[in-house]
Amino acid sequence: MALDPGLVGRSYPPSAVYEVGREKIAEFARALGDDDPVYRDPEAARAAGHPDVVAPPTFAIVLSLGAGDVVLADPDVAIDYSRVVHGEQRFVHHRPIRAGDRLVATASIEAVRSVAGNDMLTTRVDLATEDGEPVCRTSAMLVARGA
């Protein structure tokens, strides 16, 4: 079933606060095999001009994955999750995510398309501090393969 184009622009309530921890950043960097000290050593991060350890640029996926679930749980978004693959991903960073950040994620629907029986849903997640400072915008395009 094709997705309703009227869904574009729909926005969802902000998430609970996610507090970014040094250990979580270090764990994520390790999973990428990245031994850059700015991901784990506060002194090295400060020497590089950051207030605390920073996260690898794709760390935002940790928050946006969870925040995007609210879209897939929307009963109006008729998409068969078992047929979904990740088509595209985009990040726009206003500044690096860093340890100590208290971030709120707000999901919305950026685009819907149907091509050759496949439904494409682009979900946007805006990450900001709880004080409202924009930090990162992510867009994920999911493809639900036609049955």
- Residue ranges that bind other proteins, judged by CB under 8 A: 24, 27-28, 30-34, 36, 38-39, 48-50, 54-58, 61-62, 65-66, 82, 85-93, 95-96
Q: Locate 44 and state its tokens.
A: 């090295």
Between 108 and 138, name the residue whose CB sits nearer to other proteins. Answer: 138
Between 7 and 84, name the residue whose CB sits nearer to other proteins. Answer: 84
Question: Which of 16, 1, 13 has the alpha carbon at shortest distance from 119?
Answer: 1
Task: Kindly state the smallest distance separating residue 12's Cβ from other proteins, in Å.
Answer: 19
Between 78 and 92, name the residue whose CB sits nearer to other proteins. Answer: 92
Task: Kindly state the smallest distance separating residue 25's Cβ from other proteins, in Å.
Answer: 10
Question: Which of 146, 145, 6 has the alpha carbon at shortest distance from 74?
Answer: 6
Task: Give the angle subtended at the CA of 61 by the CAs of 124 and 108, to the nearest 5°.
Answer: 15
Q: In the chain, what is the greatest distance between 2 CA atoms, to the nearest angstrom?
A: 54
Cα separation of 123 and 121, whole Å? 6
Task: Kindly state the smallest distance separating residue 59's Cβ from other proteins, in Å.
Answer: 9
**Chain centroid offset of residue 96 CA:** 13
Task: Kindly state the smallest distance separating residue 58's Cβ from other proteins, in Å.
Answer: 4
SS3 assignment, position 111: strand
Between 19 and 76, name the residue whose CB sits nearer to other proteins. Answer: 19
Task: Kindly state the smallest distance separating residue 6's Cβ from other proteins, in Å.
Answer: 26
Between 34 and 76, name the residue whose CB sits nearer to other proteins. Answer: 34
Query: Within 13 A of 130's CA, how many CA atoms are on the CB side?
Result: 9
